[in-house]
């Protein structure tokens, strides 16, 4: 990797960049972005028909690296998944979705959740929303959240191929659930952390592996961690999952810009669901560390990327805005901490192709500032534009594999985003 300091905005090397070129590039990119945005809006009503799920992998024959850690060689298989569930649910109280719902207070009795459009009538919730996630997995989701009197947060989502199925609660693909609470064995009641569960769509029984992108099953929790953060943990010498199952993951906030909403039922429109989606993000925000630290690369003190993002979406600390501010740009992507018009790169590429997963990474990888992104110039060149794994299937350098979610990968390479990124990388010294 090149010397990090040469990319820091304000240092002598990057000051040599002609900002006029950034202006010309930014104008062209904004036109491309406006065109793409208009196309998405025009097609919003076309997402409802149930087609093939998941989307087809564009590079036939390439090794599957989606939802897989590239550098940390920790086995993720059926045995590790079983050990993980044993660590987070040692008394087997959550072996079905209905049991999980009882444990977390969503329902009183296991029979309170039933199939069909009104089968969730008895499900308690603080917030609920339904939408198509058009950025990462491409599924339609019914999301529920509930926070108990002790501040424990639980969320779950039923996943469907399309809005029609989601409305009728039919042909469910799978349900994924998350909790933020202390270890189940009571060993450290003051430390809460995120745990993951997955259940079949047909009968809501627990599963250890899940096929999220159509290229085969991958084990929990590894396939969740790619976007939810944390690091894979190896089983100990006795085959036990360490640290009570605490892998350092996070709940993701609700990025409305990544969603497509129903254009038929007014109750499921973006405007109608904004208050509920804000509540979902507030629940996630309550689980984030609130520490503010000086960021040497960015050049200023800041909270975590997750906190900064949610606060930015809703007008600052306290979240005073009732609606989502999709034009929010983090401080580190604006002058004087970034070149003029660097925010165009942020909104054209980072927001659409990187942010959804990188915001949960360690501070050095969360891309919440221009400098924090620029220092990875060489790594980005390799991981995005490096030798692809189709022409070099035996390569071990992970070239050309980003983004690591299939839907995001398709969106990135099927839009102007890759051209935008290519041009900006070429402009960096």
State mean pLDDT over 406-421.
82
Find out whether 117 and 167 touch, Cβ atoms under 8 Å: yes
What confidence tens digit (pLDDT) does each residue in 238-295 have?
A: 999 999 999 999 999 999 999 999 999 999 999 999 999 999 999 999 999 999 999 9
* CA nearest neighbour of 324 among 131, 161, 36: 131
Q: Classify strands 259-260 and 218-219 as parallel, antiparallel or unpaired.
A: unpaired
Q: Is the pLDDT of residue 81 over 60?
A: yes
- Site of tokens 């995005």: 384
Bridge partners of residue 177, in order along the sequence:
156, 197
**What pLDDT digit, counting tens, does each position of 384-408 carry?**
887 654 444 444 455 567 777 777 7
Question: What is the Cα gyration radius of the chain?
Answer: 22
Residue 383: both structure tokens together: 């991981």
Residues ≥6 apart with Cβ < 8 Å to 412: 352, 353, 403, 418
In this prediction, residue 387 carries a pLDDT of 63
Which pLDDT band holds residue 216 (cuts at 50, 70, 90)? low
The pLDDT of residue 114 is above 90: yes
Q: Please identify which residue in the block is written with the tokens 């198509």.
A: 132
- Does residue 25 sit in helix, strand or coil? helix
Per-residue pLDDT averaged across 186-204, rounded? 93
Average pLDDT value over all residues in the chain = 82
Q: What tokens were used for 353? A: 């192709």
Over residues 164-181, the pLDDT tens digits come to 999 999 999 999 999 999
Closest CA to 151 of 98, 93, 190, 95: 190
pLDDT of 223 over the 60 cut: yes
Q: Indicate whether 107 pLDDT > 50.
A: yes
Residue whose tokens read 């070129």: 21
Report the alpha-carbon distance of residue 147 to residue 194 in Å, rounded: 14
**DSSP letters spanning 223-274:** HHHHHH--------TTSPPSGGG-----PPP--GGGEE--SS-GGGSHHHHH
**Residue 45's pLDDT is what?**
40
Which DSSP letter does residue 23 get? H
Q: What are phi and psi of 141, to 5 degrees?
A: -125, 140
Report d(CA 253, CA 333) in Å as an integer.
20
Assess contact for 156 and 144: CB atoms under 8 A.
yes
Closest CA to 105 of 124, 127, 92, 90: 124
Q: What are phi and psi of 179, to 5 degrees?
A: -130, 150
> CA dist 427 to 38, 213, 337, 354, Å?
27, 34, 17, 19
Cβ atoms of 253 and 265 closer than 8 Å: no
For the cut 80, the answer to whether the pLDDT of residue 12 exceeds it is: no
Checking phi first, is residue 216 left (phi over 0); if not, alpha (psi -120 to 50) or beta?
left
């Amino acid at each position: 990797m090149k010397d990090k300091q040469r990319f820091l905005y304000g240092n002598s090397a990057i000051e040599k960049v002609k900002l006029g070129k950034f202006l010309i590039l930014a104008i062209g990119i904004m036109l491309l972005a406006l065109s793409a945005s208009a196309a998405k809006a025009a097609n919003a009503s076309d997402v409802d028909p149930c087609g093939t799920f998941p989307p087809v992998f564009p590079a036939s024959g390439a090794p599957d690296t989606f939802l897989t850690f590239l550098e940390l060689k920790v086995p993720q298989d059926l045995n590790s998944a079983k050990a993980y569930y044993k660590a987070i649910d040692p008394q087997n109280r959550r072996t079905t979705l209905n049991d999980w719902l009882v444990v977390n207070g969503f329902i009183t009795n296991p029979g309170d959740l039933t199939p069909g459009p009104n089968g969730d009538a008895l499900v308690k919730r603080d917030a609920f929303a339904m939408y198509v996630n058009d950025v990462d997995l491409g599924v339609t989701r019914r999301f529920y959240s509930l926070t108990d009197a002790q501040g424990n947060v639980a969320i779950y989502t039923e996943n469907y191929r399309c809005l029609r199925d989601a409305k009728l609660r039919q042909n469910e693909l799978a349900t994924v659930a998350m909790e933020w609470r202390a270890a189940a064995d009571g060993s450290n009641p003051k430390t809460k952390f995120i745990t993951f569960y997955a259940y079949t769509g047909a009968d809501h029984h627990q599963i250890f592996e899940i096929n999220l992108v159509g290229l085969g099953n991958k084990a929990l929790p590894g396939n969740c961690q790619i976007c939810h953060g944390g690091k894979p943990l190896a089983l100990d010498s006795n085959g036990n999952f360490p640290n009570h199952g605490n892998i350092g993951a996070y709940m993701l906030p609700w990025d409305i810009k990544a969603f497509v909403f129903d254009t038929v039922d007014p109750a499921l429109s973006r405007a109608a669901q904004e208050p509920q989606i804000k509540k979902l993000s507030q629940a996630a925000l309550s689980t984030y560390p609130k520490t503010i630290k000086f960021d040497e690369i960015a050049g200023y003190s800041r909270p975590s990327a997750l906190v900064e993002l949610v606060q930015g979406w809703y007008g600052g600390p306290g979240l005073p805005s009732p609606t989502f501010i999709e034009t929010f740009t983090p401080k580190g992507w604006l002058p004087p901490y970034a070149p003029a018009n660097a925010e165009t790169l942020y909104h054209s590429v980072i927001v659409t192709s990187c942010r959804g997963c990188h915001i949960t990474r360690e501070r050095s990888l969360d891309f919440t500032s221009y400098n924090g992104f620029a220092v990875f110039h060489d790594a980005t060149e390799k991981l995005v534009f490096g030798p692809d794994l189709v022409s070099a299937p035996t390569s071990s350098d992970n070239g050309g594999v980003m983004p690591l979610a299939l839907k995001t990968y398709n969106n990135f390479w099927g839009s102007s985003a890759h051209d935008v990124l290519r041009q900006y990388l070429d402009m960096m010294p």
